Structure 1
Amino acid sequence: MSGMLELLLQHKIVAILRGIEDHHADDTAQALIDGGIHMMEITMNTEGAAVMIERWRTKFDGKAAVGAGTVTDVVLAEQAVAAGAQFLISPNLDEEVIAYGRERGLSVWPGVMTPTEIVKAWKAGADAVKIFPMGTLGVGYLQEIRGPLNDIPMMATGGVDLHNIADYFKAGANAVGMGGKLVNLEWVREGKFDQVTERARQFTDAVKDL
């Protein structure tokens, strides 16, 4: 099992930072780490994503794993890897991205929805898949596909909140990806980093009890 997959299964939450401004980024990451978050992804459609990834790799070394999100093709995968991303996450299944990551010993967790896509991603070498968009599909969907596909690690992304996070894991999620419900960018812009930490702590405590 890869080191990143091990971390994912152990800590169960990936914080998704999309649209974060560079001057708030470091304080936000620190606030999340203080709240118990150990895995963070900066989406590649965030301005200056590669620069932030590179900086975080040094700044938060040993505190949190830093990956790239929204890696929709190999060009973005190359940029992310050059910046030092430790794992790659996509909203889509691109087998070239999986191959690119694997050649470099990196975990790639592609976005998939149907059973066909899930198995295809697994066969292409993804060591986990991201079931997306979970907010629309709902936990019932996850539970249903879990029956026949019980050996593939699944991260559920979309729709996770404090009141339903336990349901995601009961339905068969091994981990969850969380954006705005975890990282409130309005709090970030207002400098309320203690609230960011507190929210992170609520989620990390919730998964500890599972």
Structure 2
Amino acid sequence: MGSHMLSLLKQEKIIVIVRGVSQSSIFPIADALCSGGIKFLEITMDTEGALFSISQLREKYENQLYVGAGTVLDIEAAKEAIQAGAQYIISPNLNEQVVSYCVERGIDVWPGTMTPTEMYRAYQLGASAVKVFPIGTLGSNYIKEVKSPLSFIEMIATGGVNKENILPILTNGAAAVGLGGNLVDKQLIQQKNYSELTKRAQTFVRLAKGVGNDETVQSY
């Protein structure tokens, strides 16, 4: 069950999750991430002014960022996010109504799953990929194990992705990863240290593409 949006994501390999930041910092964050090579940005619905931010990001970064809504827990939130311009919908859970609603409208939906049963059900409903959550707890080998019988299901690993496990997760079969606090550090944002945010984004982009031994991949 492929899609154009998923094909683009598989090339980029990273979705950056922005949660709980002020509206005034959304554009500086987006600018910093764009400069660092990020193409997919997810604004979680529990973030202040999420719908407005999604709408504004779509308008300003039309040819630079693919903007989605995260933490979409029910069908009402899905409707609002799509109306605001979200190009894909992500949730921490498997809500069948949300999946069906998005599929019917041709919007990519990547619901949260943990068990093979949930993964297969999401696939049956038409989800182009599933979010495997929380990968930090499950471990990078979990992707390899569930992909063995479910090789036809595309998986996006989120929850605890960091510099140490991003490459093993992708190598073990994840189509992409979701990066949150390990990239979008709240302290950096409070300090308005957006140049460091760009550097971290560059590091993760290189790691995701398997360039872990490049001298430009610095520790932080």
Letter in 2 for 1:174: A
Q: Which residue does 1:80 correspond to in 2?
A: 81
Report the TM-score, using the length of structure 2 for normalisation: 0.93
| Deviation for aligned residue 1:209 | 2.5
The count of residues paired between Structure 1 and Structure 2 equals: 210
Map 1:161-200 onto structure 2 (within 5 A).
Answer: 161-200=162-201
1:22-171 matches, within 5 Å, as 22-171=23-172
Alignment-derived partner of residue 214 in structure 2: none
Cα deviation for residue 54 of structure 1 reads 0.4
Aligned 8 A contact 2:141 2:169 in 1? no
Identity of aligned residues (%): 48
Calculate the TM-score normalised by the size of structure 1.
Answer: 0.97
Q: Secondary structure at the match of 1:41?
A: strand
Whole-angstrom distance in 2 between the partners of 1:170 and 1:11: 14
SS at match of 1:15: strand
Secondary structure of the residue aligned to 2:168 is: helix
What does residue 15 of structure 1 align with?
A: 16
Taking the aligned partners of 1:89 and 1:71, their CA distance within structure 2 comes to 6
Equivalent-residue separation in structure 2 for 1:17 and 1:165 (angstroms): 18
Give the whole-Å Cα distance in 2 for the aligned partners of 1:149 and 1:121: 12
1:208 deviates by 2.0
Q: Mean Cα displacement is larger for which, 157-166 or 125-134?
A: 157-166
Is the partner of 1:155 in helix, strand or coil? strand
How far is 1:36 from its partner? 0.4
Q: Contact (CA 8 Å) 2:68, 2:89: kept in 1 or not?
A: yes
> Any runs of at least 4 consecutive aligned residues in structure 1 with deviations exceeding 4 A, and if so which?
none
- Report SS of the residue matched to 2:62: coil
Q: CA deviation at 1:95?
A: 1.2
1:71 CA drift (Å): 0.5
RMSD of aligned alpha carbons: 1.0
In structure 2, the partner of 1:4 is 5
Q: Deviations over 1:22-42 (max 9, x none)?
A: 000100011001100000000
Q: Distance in 2 between matches of 1:54 and 1:68?
A: 11
2:140/2:165 contact within 8 Å kept:
no
- Asked whether the 8 Å contact 2:40–2:66 carries over to 1, the reply is yes
Query: What amino acid maps onto 1:4 in structure 2?
Result: M
Quote how far apart the aligned CAs of 1:105 are.
1.1
Partners in 1 of 2:140 and 2:5 — Cα distance? 25
Q: Is the 8 A contact 2:88 2:107 kept in 1?
A: yes
SS at match of 2:101: helix
Q: Secondary structure at the match of 1:62?
A: coil
Structure 1: stretches of 5+ with no match in the other structure: none
Matched to 2:203, the amino acid is: Q
Which moved further from structure 2: 3-12 or 85-94? 3-12
Deviations 1:112-151 (CA, angstroms, capped at 9, x unpaired): 0000000000000100000001111111222211110111
